[in-house]
């Protein structure tokens, strides 16, 4: 079954243009326009997709508002929980098909997208638990006389969710899950590079019995559909994941009605390796902290700080590890590193490869686009390690979003903490050491939303994830996540 999904036509790719979901109906864009989405391993067109615009966003927001004020507002927590559990069961039933769609549409290796099963299902079931765990507080007050004061937690309302392309299935669940748990409604704008999985999940939402208008999905471009959603006066909150430049535009656009905003943005995360680390695990660990998903992960550990006395040995070993990884068509189960998502992303990453060389960094592995045979049709860049990188080089400061490590030597623990923090970003970070006091010192010293010690990129639905500084604000996962979708109302009753 799974092999067929990847070798013959996927059941969702039936040759018909994909429509958008507004108010429980599958409709064309008001303009009638469509755009094409492609397989980045081969350049082949997968589907034409309805290209939403401001008018479609208006229709979707109006539907989301009606649903929010209508029967959905009467749904009890147990009913919302039941819907989330039903959606989880459907995602489980169709998981292979969804993993294949992610692989086809954005190029993550099929081994990787299949491995996201536990996480995707765990997220939905975690939010189902959250639906019945929304608590206000009874608060003692000091007013003279007799007053009771307590808080209610209420859904913020209509949420505009704007997601990137690097992990469409889990990104979709990360936005829809907390909205359903809290009783919000959503207008989701998928990334133009990878709109297919969000549309398929929207079908499953309908099948799960989620009422019309509660989940709407409007594909389209960022500057049109995305911007219209971010500035819409009847959207109460925008939940955004993407680049910091777009994040800044979202904040500006939100000012019109001062909507709530949560932002999960980019990073240039430090990954610090001490000489006392277990190098057998640190080598692949530091490698996969960047090579996984071809480096297209916002918390990738791209600034690899290595203690000077093992710098040459360690960087050479990470480079050799990178060379053992199989780069190729993302549909091949043996593939470990797939293509970059698009021609635009390829230009960006190869541009940085050239900049790195011009700046005097030394490529120990990779460093050039792969164009042999069938690879010429796709957007393949091999795992690349740059040595002799200095903090002030652009490849050490700017987010590349490709499989590119910038390896930098350090000598002293205080120095590496200071240099790790010398960035506008603060999303992820890693530490490799056997020394518990060093680990603890870095865990406290690094200004980032996650610190991974002797591991990298560990994620769980119950553990919050998000940024410091220009990596954004707000948390996804964990009990903090649903709070982002709730308002606090204080109620006073004079009882005397």
The catalytic residues are 264, 298
- Judged by CB under 6 A, the stretch of 107-115, 243-251, 321-329, 352-360 that binds ligand ADP is 243-251
- Judged by CB under 6 A, the stretch of 35-43, 146-154, 239-247, 305-313 that binds ligand ADP is 239-247
159 near ligand ADP, judged by CB under 6 A: no
Encode burial over 151-188: b for 16+ CB neighbours within 10 A, e otherwise. eebbbbbbbbbbbbbbbbbbbbbbbbbbbbbbbbbbbb
* List 116, 246, 336, 477, residue binding ligand ADP (CB under 6 A): 246
Closest residue (Cβ) to ligand ADP? Answer: 222
Residues 6+ apart with CB under 8 A from 298: 166, 241, 264, 265, 266, 267, 399, 427, 428, 471
Residues 6+ apart with CB under 8 A from 209: 83, 86
**Residue with smaller CB distance to ligand ADP, 2 or 243:** 243
- Judged by CB under 6 A, the stretch of 123-131, 219-227, 365-373, 402-410 that binds ligand ADP is 219-227
Among the listed residues 244, 212, 239, the one whose alpha carbon sits nearest the alpha carbon of residue 226: 239
162 near ligand ADP, judged by CB under 6 A: yes
Tell me how far, at minimum, the Cβ of 71 lies from ligand ADP, in Å: 30
243 near ligand ADP, judged by CB under 6 A: yes
**Residue with smaller CB distance to ligand ADP, 222 or 382:** 222
Tell me how far, at minimum, the Cβ of 271 lies from ligand ADP, in Å: 21
* List 112, 200, 249, 317, residue binding ligand ADP (CB under 6 A): 249
267 near ligand ADP, judged by CB under 6 A: no
Tell me how far, at minimum, the Cβ of 269 lies from ligand ADP, in Å: 16
Residue with tokens 């615009």: 53
Considering only residues 289 to 308 of the shown chain, the ones binding ligand ADP according to CB under 6 A are none
**Residue with smaller CB distance to ligand ADP, 172 or 246:** 246
Residue with tokens 């299949």: 114
* List 52, 109, 198, 242, residue binding ligand ADP (CB under 6 A): 242
176 near ligand ADP, judged by CB under 6 A: no
Q: How far apart are CA 129 and CA 210, in angstroms?
A: 17
- Spatial contact of 401 and 353, defined as CB atoms under 8 Å apart: no
Among the listed residues 159, 154, 131, the one whose alpha carbon sits nearest the alpha carbon of residue 67: 159
**Residue with smaller CB distance to ligand ADP, 88 or 229:** 229
- Taking CA atoms, 475 is separated from 40, 254, 461, in Å, by 31, 19, 11
Among the listed residues 277, 248, 293, the one whose alpha carbon sits nearest the alpha carbon of residue 402: 293
Among the listed residues 207, 231, 194, the one whose alpha carbon sits nearest the alpha carbon of residue 104: 194
Residues that bind ligand ADP (CB under 6 A): 162-164, 189, 191-192, 221-223, 226-227, 230, 242-243, 246, 249-250
């Amino acid at each position: 079954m799974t092999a067929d999904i990847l070798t013959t036509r996927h059941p969702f790719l039936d040759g018909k243009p994909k429509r958008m979901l507004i108010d429980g109906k599958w409709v064309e864009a008001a303009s009638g326009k469509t755009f094409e989405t492609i397989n980045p391993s081969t350049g082949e067109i997968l589907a034409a997709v309805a290209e939403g615009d401001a008018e479609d966003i208006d229709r979707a927001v109006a539907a989301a508002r009606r649903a929010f004020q209508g029967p959905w507002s009467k749904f009890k927590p147990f009913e919302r929980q039941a819907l989330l559990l039903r959606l989880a069961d459907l995602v489980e039933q169709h998981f292979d098909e969804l993993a294949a769609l992610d692989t086809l549409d954005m190029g993550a290796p099929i081994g990787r997208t299949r491995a996201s099963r536990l996480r995707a299902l765990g997220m939905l079931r975690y939010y189902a638990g959250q639906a019945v765990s929304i608590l206000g507080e009874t608060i003692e007050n000091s007013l003279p006389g007799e007053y009771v004061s307590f808080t209610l937690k209420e859904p913020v309302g209509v949420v505009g969710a704007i997601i990137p392309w690097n992990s469409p299935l889990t990104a979709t669940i990360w936005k829809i899950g907390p909205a359903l748990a809290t009783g919000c409604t959503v207008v989701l704008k998928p990334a133009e590079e990878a709109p297919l999985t969000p549309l398929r999940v929207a079908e499953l939402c309908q099948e799960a019995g989620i009422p019309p208008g509660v989940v709407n999905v409007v594909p389209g471009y960022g500057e049109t559909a995305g911007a219209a959603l971010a500035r819409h006066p009847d959207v109460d909150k925008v939940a955004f994941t993407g680049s910091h430049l777009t994040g800044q535009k979202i904040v500006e656009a939100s000012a019109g009605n001062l909507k709530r905003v949560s932002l999960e943005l980019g990073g240039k995360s430090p990954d610090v390796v001490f000489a006392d680390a277990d190098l057998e695990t640190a080598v692949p660990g530091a490698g996969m902290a960047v090579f996984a998903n071809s480096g297209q992960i916002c918390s990738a550990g791209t600034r690899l700080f290595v203690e000077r006395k093992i710098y040459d040995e360690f960087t050479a070993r990470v480079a050799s590890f990178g060379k053992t990884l199989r780069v190729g068509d993302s549909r091949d189960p043996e593939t470990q590193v797939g293509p970059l998502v698009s021609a635009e992303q390829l230009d960006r990453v190869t541009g940085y490869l050239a900049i790195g060389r011009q700046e005097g960094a030394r490529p120990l592995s990779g460093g050039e686009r792969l164009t042999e045979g069938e690879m010429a049709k796709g957007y393949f860049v091999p795992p690349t390690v740059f040595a002799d990188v200095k903090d002030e080089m652009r490849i050490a400061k700017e987010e590349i979003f490709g499989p590119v490590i910038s390896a930098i030597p350090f000598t002293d623990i205080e120095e590496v903490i200071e240099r790790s923090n010398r960035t506008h970003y603060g999303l992820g970070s890693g530490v490799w050491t056997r020394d518990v006091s060093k680990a603890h010192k870095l865990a406290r010293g690094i200004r980032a939303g996650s610190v991974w010690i002797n591991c990298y990129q560990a994620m769980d639905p119950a553990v919050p994830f998000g940024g410091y500084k220009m990596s954004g604000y707000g948390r996804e996962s964990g009990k903090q996540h649903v709070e982002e979708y709730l308002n606090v109302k204080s109620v006073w009753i004079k009882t005397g």
